[in-house]
Amino acid sequence: MLTDVLLPHNRWDLLAGLPVPRPTVSVVVVHYEQPRQLALTLAALQRQTLPPVEIVVADDGSRGPVRAGAGPVPTTVVRQEDRGFRAAAARNLGASRSRGEVLVFLDADTVPEPGFVEALTAPVAQCPDVVAVGRRLHADLAALAPGDDPATAPRLEAPQWLADGYAHSGDLLHADGRSFRFVISAVLACRRSLFDDLGGFDERFVGYGGEDWDLAYRAWNGGAVLVRRRDAVAWHDGPDWADRDVEAGQKEAEAARLAELIPEPGTRGARPAGGLPDVLVELDADSSAVGASLGAQTHRDLAIGPPDRFWSADQLRRARARVVVHGVLPATAIEEAMRMLEEHDPGEITIIGADTGADLATLTSARAEGRARRRPDVPREEVIARAFGRMTCHVHAGVIPRGAR
């Protein structure tokens, strides 16, 4: 039976010493025209110290038949039409045809070591909020036969930016709102319940790249605990795709798609928010002055509506915070509260007028809401208090717009 540990913030280190259940695991392997590499990966999955209950090969429209291989772990192949590079849709298809409590995602060209599944899924089995990423190394596996040890193959350089990201964040222990960039779907695990809560991979991503960052962003924003397991090793056949020549237009298209869907400021930059804003603001006061003060906010990436405003599921999964406004806000109020959110990861921030002591607004983080939503048996206020805590942001009036006076 899986355990339901409620962790504060991203403190996955607190799982050390706790019992580790042995979950039922489904491994989804995304594949396209890679028969030799797939054979290596499937053979390695048959030799895991924690055998999965099944392997699902999610084929992205290969022209010929796909061999499932043989072994004690049952392997099935599910297929979708070839309508371009649609790894996101293929992974979703594979997940939908599986039954394990925990989902592991692998690429067909990434060969796991024997302890990979057991190491990667351990924190996932302990805590329902965990998204775990393994340690992807690189080698030339051209001469490898199924069942051979990939660690004996000629080793290639791993991407330095990824190694630096793990080093600076303590294997994601000190993750922040930008750390989703270090979560790669080639070696990924989470509970099925979390995957479903997040809505799976976004199938709007067609073409190489971006879908894993997008899922990881929504996971972090939905209260996930990001964990990097350096003992969950898998070997990618060849160098990192980021080190290969990629057309500038393809990179620009990926960046534009990410900026459209991810409101985190470092990703979106100065691009317009469109229909997926960073902050969802609800007016709890019928006042033109309050409305005018919102129009003057220095944090511009927001949408405003009444208390009963129906926000879409996409907006709720992507906006970093919701703010309920009770009074006239100084122009920097939301900007200052969002800075506090980025620096301290609180669940709730009360915005107080420093000059008057008035309660002006309440900001609730999407991370706190997500973690509370997945625990319907625990009062929401208790989850917010235990997992994130509350803070107060005192803002000075400064210059108040003419219409808000």
Per-residue pLDDT of the chain (405 residues), as tens digits, is 899 999 999 999 999 999 999 999 999 999 988 899 999 999 999 999 999 999 999 998 899 888 888 899 999 999 988 776 688 999 999 999 999 999 999 999 999 999 999 999 999 999 999 999 999 999 999 999 999 999 999 999 999 999 999 999 999 999 999 999 999 999 999 999 999 999 999 988 877 778 899 999 999 999 999 999 999 999 999 998 655 555 666 777 778 888 899 999 998 887 666 789 999 999 987 778 888 999 999 999 999 988 777 899 999 999 999 999 999 999 999 999 999 999 999 999 999 999 899 999 999 999 999 999 999 999 999 999 999 999 999 999 865 444 444
**Parallel, antiparallel or unpaired: strands 102-107 and 25-31:** parallel
The DSSP element (H or E) to which 103 belongs, if any, is strand 102-107
- State the virtual CA torsion across 261, 264, 268, 274 in degrees, nearest 10: 50
Classified as helix, coil or strand, 39 is helix
Joined together, the tokens standing for residue 317 give: 């999964």
Which of 137, 95, 124, 136 minimizes the C-alpha distance to 227? 124
DSSP assigned state of 97:
T
One-character DSSP codes across 121-173: HHHHHH-TTEEEEEEEEEE--TT--TTS-GGGSPEEPPPHHHHHHHHHTTTTT
Give percent helix, percent strand, percent coil of the chain, each to the nearest 5.
35, 20, 45
**Are 349 and 337 spatial neighbours (Cβ–Cβ below 8 Å)?**
yes
Domain 12-265: which CATH number of 3.40.50.970, 3.90.550.10, 3.10.180.10, 3.40.50.300: 3.90.550.10
The pLDDT of residue 405 is 42
Unique residue bearing structure tokens 């976004």: 202
Which of 1, 9, 99 minimizes the C-alpha distance to 341? 9
- The helices-and-strands tally (H runs, E runs) of the chain is 13, 15
**What's the rounded Cα separation, in Å, for the pair 36 and 31?**
11
CA-based torsion, 342, 343, 348, 353: positive or negative: negative
**Are 212 and 184 spatial neighbours (Cβ–Cβ below 8 Å)?**
yes
Residue ranges of domains in the chain? 12-265, 279-404
- Residue 239's Cβ-side half-sphere holds a number of Cα atoms within 13 Å equal to 8
73-105 residues labelled b (16+ CB within 10 A) or e (exposed): bebebbbeeeeebbbbbbbbbbbeebebbbbbb
User: How many other C-beta atoms are found inside a 10 Å radius of the C-beta of residue 343?
Assistant: 10
One-character DSSP codes across 332-399: THHHHHHHHHHHH--SEEEEEETTT--EEEEEEEHHHHHHHHT-TTS-HHHHHHHHT-EEEEEE---S
Phi, psi (degrees; rounded to nearest 5) at 118 = -65, -45
- Residue 209's Cβ-side half-sphere holds a number of Cα atoms within 13 Å equal to 17
**What's the rounded Cα separation, in Å, for the pair 384 and 64?**
51
Which of 177, 39, 193, 86 minimizes the C-alpha distance to 129? 193
Q: At what angle do helices 248-261 and 211-221 cross, to 10 degrees?
A: 20
Which of 195, 187, 140, 192 minimizes the C-alpha distance to 166? 187
The pLDDT of residue 271 is 65
Joined together, the tokens standing for residue 202 give: 């976004």
